[in-house]
Amino acid sequence: MVTDPRIVYEFGPFQMDPDKQTLRRGDNLVPVPPKAFETLLVLVRRSRDVVSKEELLREVWPDSFVEESNLSQNIFLLRKALGDTAENRQYIVTLPGRGYRFAATVRTVTEQGESLVAHARTRTQIVIEEDDAETAQGLKMLPVPQKPRVNRKFLVSVAVVVVLLAAAGFLLVRSRRLTQIVHDKEWEQLTFFTDSAVYPALSPDGRMLAFIRGSDSFMGRGQIYVKLLPGGEPVQLTNDDAVKLAPSFSPDGSRIVYSIVEPWDTWEVSSIGGDPHLLLPNSSSLTWIEHGKRLLFSEMREGLHLVLVTTDDDRGNSRDVYAPPGKRSMMHHSYLSPDGRWVLVVEMDSQGKIVPCRVVPFQAGRTSELWALLTTNASLERGRRMANGSTSL
């Protein structure tokens, strides 16, 4: 009985066996999850072709509906297994708005080792060669045409139309290209927990991401994590029952500070691990501003009144930036604008309700005009009332 030969794919130092579901690098087995292996197999079999995300989802999950994040996770795992980096994509290339392409040359061999592909040719080369052959055969069959009489006015009219169409086509392509640049963004999933990762904070050099892993998006008993971007493994930095919120990096990226609730204090932990310790009592949502020379944070006053203040590192030279109206209102988060003139604030009113975000002046003595930033009709109406001189929100 004649059986089909077993096919094995080779690319770079890797050998991929679809029957055994194995990926090897030389003599070493490279661990790859089953769905990630199927994803790689589709890309390898269509090497040099662009495979859309929709096609990959249909091929790998043919009988179920899954979110695109599952595909992104598989691509992330494959790039890690193959040694691809953000700076050097040797194998899996992303084409924003189109899909993925396997860029390496793939050799297909039988079980006996006989090469089935003498050399790799791109799809473009094959199409051109086929087109050339068909064109040549067609030319042999066509009769020699008689030279027509030329109408000069007709030719001028055609030339004008061609120029206009070319100009219109250029503008259309340019418009679509600009639109694609704006809208075609590659989204890459960074964490793969079964629960939530909230409060993301980027280090000043953009190489580390800190976040709270937990079940609550506002404040909860989650833990502080940090990971190197883009593909580092998340590392847990805390292990306690404190209610946490608002992590941020120190100016040099060596420390991560975060707030705990009851009491409202700021703690810090080294970015590379260690024991957390108290940094600044009676403070919340702390950030460094003015190139690390000053601090911006919320401070608890009489009762449960959280106000926004700025101080030096040693808490000297302190001044209030914004005090929300009401003795039980709380100024929870603040973000200084790049020009240092305004602060975006998130506050809770005396009834415990988060109110629309607003922008307040950072420098004392500037205009006290406030803007509500949410786009609901009520927020816009409040904005109009403020512009007319009312400070009521």
* Number of structural domains in the chain: 2
Do 251 and 355 belong to one domain? yes
Do 99 and 234 belong to one domain? no
Which of 86, 109, 132 is the endpoint of a domain? Answer: 109
366-377 pLDDT per residue, tens:
444 444 444 444
Angle, CA of 183, 189 and 191, to the nearest 5°: 155
Which of 109, 140, 161 is the endpoint of a domain? Answer: 109
In a domain, 178, yes or no: no
In a domain, 173, yes or no: no
Q: Please report, for the domain that includes residue 326, its CATH number.
A: 2.120.10.30
In a domain, 121, yes or no: no
Do 318 and 204 belong to one domain? yes
Do 344 and 215 belong to one domain? yes
In a domain, 184, yes or no: no
193-251 pLDDT per residue, tens:
777 888 899 999 988 999 999 877 677 788 999 988 877 888 899 999 888 989 999 99
- What are the pLDDT tens digits along the chain (393 aa)? 445 678 899 999 999 999 999 999 998 999 888 999 999 999 999 988 999 999 999 999 988 777 788 888 889 889 989 998 877 888 999 988 889 999 999 999 876 544 444 334 344 333 333 444 444 444 344 444 444 555 566 666 666 666 666 666 666 655 555 555 444 456 778 888 777 888 899 999 988 999 999 877 677 788 999 988 877 888 899 999 888 989 999 999 999 999 998 788 999 999 888 899 999 989 899 999 988 889 999 998 887 788 999 999 878 888 999 988 887 788 889 999 998 889 999 988 877 788 889 899 998 654 444 444 444 444 555 555 555 554 433
In a domain, 69, yes or no: yes
Range(s) of the domain holding residue 299: 196-387
CB 53 within 8 A of CB 43: no
Do 233 and 332 belong to one domain? yes
Which of 72, 92, 109 is the endpoint of a domain? Answer: 109
In a domain, 265, yes or no: yes
Q: Please report, for the domain that includes residue 52, its CATH number.
A: 1.10.10.10
- pTM, whole model, 2 decimals? 0.49
In a domain, 122, yes or no: no
Do 67 and 215 belong to one domain? no
In a domain, 350, yes or no: yes
